[in-house]
Structure 1
Amino acid sequence: MSHKIAMLGTGLIGRFYTMSLLKYRGKEQVVVAYSRRAEQAEKFAAEFGIPRWTTDMAEAIRDPEVDTVVIGLPNYLHKQAALLAAEAGKAVLCTKPLATNADEALEMLEAVEKAGVFHGYLEDLVYTPKTLKALESARKGALGKVLWARSRETHGGPHSDWFWTKEQSGGGAIVDMGCHCIEIARNFIGKENRPIEVTCWADTQVHPIDAEDHAVGLVRYDNGAIGQFEVSWTFRGGMDLRDEIAGTEGTVWLNHWLRTGFEMFTAVGQGGYVAEKAEGDTGWLFPVGDEIGSLGYVEMFLDMFNAMDEGRQPMETFYDGYVVNAIIDACYKSAQTKKWEPVELKVWRGGEGRDLGAALKDYDEEHYLIKEERMPNGNLKVILKNKKTGAITQIIRE
């Protein structure tokens, strides 16, 4: 089935989305583009062969040919666009973060569910080819129980003024990039596991803004796992996207951007764009062969529209966006109080009371296995815990 799309937003994200939509399935058509600036809307429509453009958001959404609305707008406009789409009975796909806070996100979720329209949360970084492959392995048990998921996104700062304006964005680096990191961790830890509490440090280290430009946080889940995020607008040298996932039986390291196998040195420059958030075009450069593919946009839209056609939910829905916003709200509170703060979820659709404690392995009837290690002399050292007494001992096998 082909779909006719209203693209709301003609900035960087709208460009990436449109590029993805026009090449990935060959079925979809963007039939109207919306921008707050007429000149930008007209130019964007001409570049991508979009038949109509407008500076009226409601007009774009209510266009009789449109069946799907894609929101690629500044954070403070997400709710307005989503409510209009729900009212018009249109499927709606919204960029990250879903909203500026959890209350707004919940209002959006309730609106689309009440209207019965398809809804998807466009969290591209959980759809990168590397991430999808790692998630498949994790879900097949390759890592055992996931204990710790660390996700890092850092660069020199976003590309538009509204990102830097707290009243329009909802915050700084946490709401901009922490949303990615939090959802990556949720996917590896398991969405059925409830986020319980967070602790977060955030500060404004470099830029003259009201929001934070650097933050580190921990999210504790009810199965004992920890999600860790590191986000910064103060990092020099491009964009650093990395994930590390550690489980009882294995580990995954993912590097999505700075070290992708394409490195080039030029003394004279290449005369233009290198990659998202690249700081220059001379010296050592790290171009990206397929930018929209590497960042997950292609697989993300494939899942969204296949789910729409198959009558199923996509991997990421507005509910996921709501949970992420609730975690972010707790992070901002923790950054102020300097304490662990609870994650307030008015709606929870996962499991309850799943704290599994330590992952215990039997060695024999009397002992748990703590660790086995082959020593430099070739001996095998086995460290054990007595099930009854709790005493820790070791045995050495030659």
Structure 2
Amino acid sequence: MHQLSLLGTGLIGMFYTQSLHQYQPGVRVAHVYSRRKERAEKFAADWDIPRWSTDLDAAINDPHTDTVLIGLPNHLHKTAILKAAAAGKAILCTKPLAMNAAEALEVLEAVEAAGVFHGYLEDLCYTPKTLKALQAVQNGALGQVLWTRSREAHPGPHSDWFWDPTRSGGGAIIDMGCHCIEIGRNFIGKQVQPLEVVCWADTLVKPIDAEDNAVGLIRYESGALSQFDVSWTYRGGMDLRDEVAGENGTIRLDHWLRTGFELFTETGMGGYVAEKAESETGWLFPVGDEVNALGYVHMFRDMFEAMDAGTAPMETFYDGYVVNAIMDACYRS
């Protein structure tokens, strides 16, 4: 049985709690932290969580929890991780791991020095389609991987802190590029070193001090190229697609807009449609099981199976550090 201290009550905290409580037997959020009392109290009531707090230290050091689950804004990750490592707790942190590579390296060294379990929560690396495609690649179905492309685009984030680079660390690259970079890295092979980055980014629509669109190319030592394109200005919902090309085959994945469930309505569905859906009428593309389709179920299964077995999960803080380093290079380019 695992008892968790959840830090953060935003959209990602809701997805995490829904996935854990509905799909992970023996895993429960037992303490939830929010900076605002009303948010903490309501979240605890909504999800039947016995304890809530506005005191970060109290939540992390709760003697009845063994794992700290971090779903906070990016600028708070480092502080939370260092405190959790000092408390000797297992740590699961949402993406990106940190504001930049220097911070990511600091927290990686802290968890390694403390000897605590660490998992990097890149959910889109764990979607059922992605895991099956990755297995095919690892089994040699495509031969040597030559090129990957990952795209994430939608109308923009839910919370205002994303728009502020002093709290987020950047714009669309650090928000969504982290997913795309790690997806490409998994398909090419984590043992293959990235060598060079070229990236173009601009603020085209949003009145913000960060990029709302970007395209990047990462060259690996094998010669493989990994392409990502991200946008906070895409209209019509959320576009999640991946492609992999090898010497002997090709994979194409469409995760969100073309789910096989298309619905036209003049009156609306009468409730939630899907993440980043812009309308409740007209043509809609609902998702049958959202937390599963987005990878949360398989991600947490991997994390807790690895934790119980005393092994490393598929995604660790080292992977988060590599992704932060690549994103730093994107911004420098």
TM-score interval (norm. to shorter): over 0.9
Deviation of 1:273 (Å): 1.6
Deviation of 1:289 (Å): 0.4
Residue 79 of structure 1 is matched in structure 2 by 78
Q: How does 1:3-152 map to 2 (within 5 A)?
A: 3-152=2-151
5+ long unaligned stretches in structure 2: none
Residue 253 of structure 2 is matched in structure 1 by 254
Residue 168 of structure 1 is matched in structure 2 by 167
Residue 395 of structure 1 is matched in structure 2 by none
Q: How does 1:268-307 map to 2 (within 5 A)?
A: 268-307=267-306
Q: Secondary structure at the match of 2:23?
A: coil
Counterpart-to-counterpart distance in 1, 2:218 and 2:277: 30
CA deviation map 1:150-182 (0-9, x unaligned): 000000000000000010000000000000000
- TM-score normalised over the length of structure 2: 0.99
Residue 203 of structure 1 is matched in structure 2 by 202
Counterpart-to-counterpart distance in 2, 1:118 and 1:26: 20
CA deviation map 1:167-213 (0-9, x unaligned): 00000000000000000000000000111110000000001100000
Deviation of 1:23 (Å): 1.7
Residue 331 of structure 2 is matched in structure 1 by 332
Partner amino acid, structure 2, of 1:230: D
Counterpart-to-counterpart distance in 1, 2:71 and 2:24: 20
CA deviation map 1:292-314 (0-9, x unaligned): 00000000000000000001000
Q: Secondary structure at the match of 2:198?
A: strand
Residue 322 of structure 1 is matched in structure 2 by 321
Partner amino acid, structure 1, of 2:243: E
RMSD, aligned CA? 0.5
Q: Secondary structure at the match of 1:196?
A: strand
Counterpart-to-counterpart distance in 2, 1:253 and 1:247: 12
1:229 equivalenced with 2:223 (yes/no)? no
Counterpart-to-counterpart distance in 1, 2:36 and 2:270: 28
Q: Secondary structure at the match of 2:318?
A: helix
Counterpart-to-counterpart distance in 2, 1:278 and 1:21: 24
Partner amino acid, structure 2, of 1:176: D
Counterpart-to-counterpart distance in 2, 1:302 and 1:183: 19
Counterpart-to-counterpart distance in 2, 1:57 and 1:292: 27
Deviation of 1:25 (Å): 2.4
Counterpart-to-counterpart distance in 2, 1:207 and 1:30: 36
CA deviation map 1:248-271 (0-9, x unaligned): 011000000000100000011122
CA deviation map 1:3-32 (0-9, x unaligned): 110011111000000001112221111110
Counterpart-to-counterpart distance in 2, 1:203 and 1:236: 17
CA deviation map 1:325-361 (0-9, x unaligned): 0000000011xxxxxxxxxxxxxxxxxxxxxxxxxxx
Q: Secondary structure at the match of 1:179?
A: helix
Counterpart-to-counterpart distance in 1, 2:183 and 2:239: 15
Counterpart-to-counterpart distance in 1, 2:41 and 2:64: 19
Deviation of 1:241 (Å): 0.1
- TM-score normalised over the length of structure 1: 0.83
Counterpart-to-counterpart distance in 2, 1:81 and 1:66: 15
Counterpart-to-counterpart distance in 2, 1:125 and 1:25: 18
Counterpart-to-counterpart distance in 2, 1:270 and 1:287: 10
5+ long unaligned stretches in structure 1: 335-398
Flag the structure with higher helix content. Answer: 2
Counterpart-to-counterpart distance in 1, 2:238 and 2:8: 23
Q: Secondary structure at the match of 1:86?
A: helix
Q: Secondary structure at the match of 1:253?
A: strand
Q: Percent of pairs identical after alignment?
A: 72
Residue 188 of structure 1 is matched in structure 2 by 187
Higher relative contact order (CA 8 A, sep 6+): 2
Q: Secondary structure at the match of 1:22?
A: helix
Counterpart-to-counterpart distance in 2, 1:213 and 1:25: 35
Deviation of 1:272 (Å): 2.5
Deviation of 1:62 (Å): 0.1
Q: Secondary structure at the match of 1:300?
A: helix
1:311 equivalenced with 2:326 (yes/no)? no
Partner amino acid, structure 2, of 1:46: A
Counterpart-to-counterpart distance in 1, 2:269 and 2:302: 35
